[in-house]
Amino acid sequence: MTDTIENRRDTRRSVFIGEGIKIYIKDEDEARSIHGEITDISPWGSNIYIIDQKLSTYPKKGDTVKIYYETRNKKNSFCRGRVVYILENTIEEIKYLRYGIEFINDNNLKSDIKNYEIPDIFSPHCWCEDPFFFHEKLIFKIKSIHSTGMILMTSARNKTLIPNLELQLKVSIPAGDEFFVNVKIEQTINSNKPSEKDKYYVHVKFENTNSKFLQVMVEYILFCGVEVTPKELRENNLPVDIIENSLSYYYALDKFDMEKVIQLRKIGLFETIKTDTENNDESYKDIYDNYSRQVLCKVGKKPVACIRIIYNLRDKNKTEMNQFVNEVPEWLWSKKFVEISKFAWDKEYRESDVFINMIRQIVRIVIESGHTHIIANAPEPLKPLYTKVGFIALNYQWKEEFEESKAKESLLILDAKGILTGEVLIEKFIWNKIYSRVSHYLGLANTET
């Protein structure tokens, strides 16, 4: 086999007459219509056979034509092409004209749209039935996504990816859902990377945008560690609401993790800290860090929030509120309580569900460590959030020397064990959103709650 023939086989999909794609050709004004059949096809052009009836209305070399086709699922569309050559062929005693068509791509890819590339190891896959040929499937890898479409990668053996072709992709997102996503091909490009010489990049735009799919993809982008904030995603017209599946949690167990805690406190605390300019970091620490578990929340690889859980072991000297109030209520010492404070939350991530997911993790940690109640030191901006998830006011009085500095803070209490067991009633939405999963996980669930 010659190199020319081998190259032709690599660059086109070829079938015999009768097996091809039935089409009809119209001129630009759509005044004439001629039936034909595509027997050779690639993303950039095709051969079309037309029975030669010696008609003067046939397209001429150099003419621009519209090629109308119907897919296997009865979708009608067209693409434009230019006649590059015309040859005469006789097949089984029937005379044909073979038109060589170069597709014209009318789709201008927008350079101002921000693409978010997905790390290769995490790339979701999608597939669909070949729109023209029997019992064949097209498989793609999602390389990047933007607000109006995606860039897909596929094998170069898939030759039917012509301009304006509509596909219904079944997208599978790892650890997520499956979606049907309707797209239209804008452009197919040969990869110029040596490791991808047998691959195509396929630019597609969304048809009838699936907002749920985009929301899940946004979560997945954040989970994969793509360096982008929810704010930037919103500015680029991508929906950001729930990012729960993008979050992970860990403890600060060494000095490097504590540096991340301090950095978050610097940019994300809700209370005012009087800083020592000579040793700025020390201003964000206190003695209660020594008795605490520091919990960090990450989006992808980036820490975006942290909080400390203070374990006082019923020792007044290890109890933060004891430093600031005249007297800790006596009944509280009979409870197994912990304190939470120094909640820091990166401002770029505040319009998300980080807070409620942090509360869910804190409740799990507190119960698993053998405690039942949580005291929250709540700065004024956080008080509505804490009360929304079930915290209630605690009776106390600030010591005189702290009345001014603590005027905008509140001490709140949560009966975590009571909520999880159903002894304390909570708003149904909050129960379903936060506590039900923890309760089921710990085997405390009251299914009737």
Comparing CA positions, the residue from 192, 213, 211, 212 lying closest to residue 201 is 192
Question: Which two three-digit tokens encode residue 431?
Answer: 């129960």
pLDDT in tens, 16-34: 999 999 999 998 888 888 9
Predicted confidence at residue 4, as pLDDT, reads: 41
- What distance in Å separates the CA atoms of residue 86 and residue 100, rounded to the nearest whole number? 6
- What distance in Å separates the CA atoms of residue 338 and residue 318, rounded to the nearest whole number? 10
Q: What residues in the chain have per-residue pLDDT under 70? A: 1-10, 275-279, 445-449
Predicted confidence at residue 446, as pLDDT, reads: 59
Distances in whole angstroms, Cα of residue 354 to Cα of each of 79, 115, 372, 374, 381: 47, 25, 23, 19, 15
Predicted confidence at residue 415, as pLDDT, reads: 97
Comparing CA positions, the residue from 118, 202, 119, 106 lying closest to residue 153 is 202
Terminal Cα-to-Cα distance of the chain (whole angstroms)? 74
- Within a 10 A sphere around the Cβ of 54, how many other Cβ atoms? 7
User: What pairs with residue 127 in β-bridges?
Assistant: 139, 170
- What distance in Å separates the CA atoms of residue 209 and residue 206, rounded to the nearest whole number? 6
Distances in whole angstroms, Cα of residue 259 to Cα of each of 252, 266, 271, 339, 343: 9, 11, 19, 22, 15
Domains and CATH numbers, the chain: 3-104 (2.40.10.220), 116-235 (2.40.10.220), 244-441 (3.40.630.30)
Predicted confidence at residue 140, as pLDDT, reads: 97
User: Using alpha carbons only, how large is the chain's radius of gyration in Å?
Assistant: 32
- What distance in Å separates the CA atoms of residue 46 and residue 42, rounded to the nearest whole number? 6
Comparing CA positions, the residue from 140, 21, 123 lying closest to residue 72 is 21
Query: Cβ(198)–Cβ(164) under 8 Å?
Result: no
Burial class (CB in 10 A: 0-12, 13-18, 19+), 175: exposed
* Largest Cα span, the chain: 107
**Beta strands 373-379; 337-345: pairing state:** parallel
Beta strands in 132-284 (DSSP E): 137-146, 149-155, 166-172, 178-190, 199-206, 247-251
